[in-house]
Amino acid sequence: MIRTKIKRVLKNIFKVAAILLLLVTGVIAFANWKISSEAEKYIYNDIDSIPNHSIALVLGTARYVSTGPNQYFSNRIKATKELYNYGKLDAIVVSGDNRHVSYNEPREMRRALVEAGVPDSIINQDFAGLRTLDSVIRMKKIFGQKTFIVVSQQFHNERAIFIARYYNIEAYGYNAKDLNLNKFSVKTKVRELFARVKVFVDIALGTGPRFLGDPIDIYDNRVSEQKLKDDADSISSLATD
């Protein structure tokens, strides 16, 4: 009798687990299909085909990883330089995480772009791009831009473009070169699956950027290094509170 009850309980547990697994798989599959299909027509690999917009939003990532230089970072810098060389850009916003004093994605992207030959005078730093959602919405609410080119890898661009279009922002994506499959890139792609589900959670909850602030003139880059440092340090301290 006891053995029969245990078998019945275990059978029910397996059924519930199977149903939950199917639901989770279905949600992930839908989120990924929906974002890719909606963003597809706004994503470009060919620089000649990109609509003429003069502003780029470069999405942040670490410059270095445990194995050395981060190729996601390097390829985004190369793609941005391509757009600049092609005469597509008048201004650039590098947006990323700065939640720790020792970790500053925008500053590293700015340095890398300058090293690549992009004029420092056209580069703006957004220290409050803690998430893709923040970076995209802040382009409209802080930098006053309702149309721009997003620079990242295709999987990331698709999510950024989907978010932008949902919030009535006319954004287009220029794809930086992706990485071949390896331990690091597989981990990134798996994380992206769940990040896309989070997009719909954010929409349902009405989640916005963690930090907003005063408007910034994207063409007025006459900000002192000390002011940039003060802004970055301020956001770092607030993010860790």
Apex 112 CA angle, 81 and 190, nearest 5: 85
CATH number at 31-239: 3.40.50.620
By the 8 A CB rule, do 89 and 53 touch? Answer: no
By the 8 A CB rule, do 128 and 134 touch? Answer: yes
User: What is the arithmetic mean of pLDDT over 27-56?
Assistant: 93
By the 8 A CB rule, do 178 and 155 touch? Answer: yes
pTM for this entry: 0.86
> Lowest mean pLDDT: which of 3-12, 153-162, 218-227?
218-227
Q: Which of 123 and 222 is assigned the larger pLDDT?
A: 123
**pLDDT (0 to 100) of residue 226:** 45
Torsion-angle region of 232 (φ positive above 0: left; ψ -120 to 50: alpha; else: beta): alpha
> What are the domain boundaries of the chain?
31-239
**pLDDT (0 to 100) of residue 150:** 98
User: What is the arithmetic mean of pLDDT over 209-223?
Assistant: 81
**pLDDT (0 to 100) of residue 61:** 93
> Lowest mean pLDDT: which of 55-64, 163-172, 199-208, 211-220?
211-220
User: What size, in residues, is the chain?
Assistant: 241
**pLDDT (0 to 100) of residue 224:** 41
| Cα–Cα distance measured from residue 116 to residue 36, given in angstroms and rounded to the nearest whole number | 31
Q: What is the CA radius of gyration of the chain?
A: 21
Residue entry with tokens 């942040």: 60
By the 8 A CB rule, do 108 and 63 touch? Answer: yes
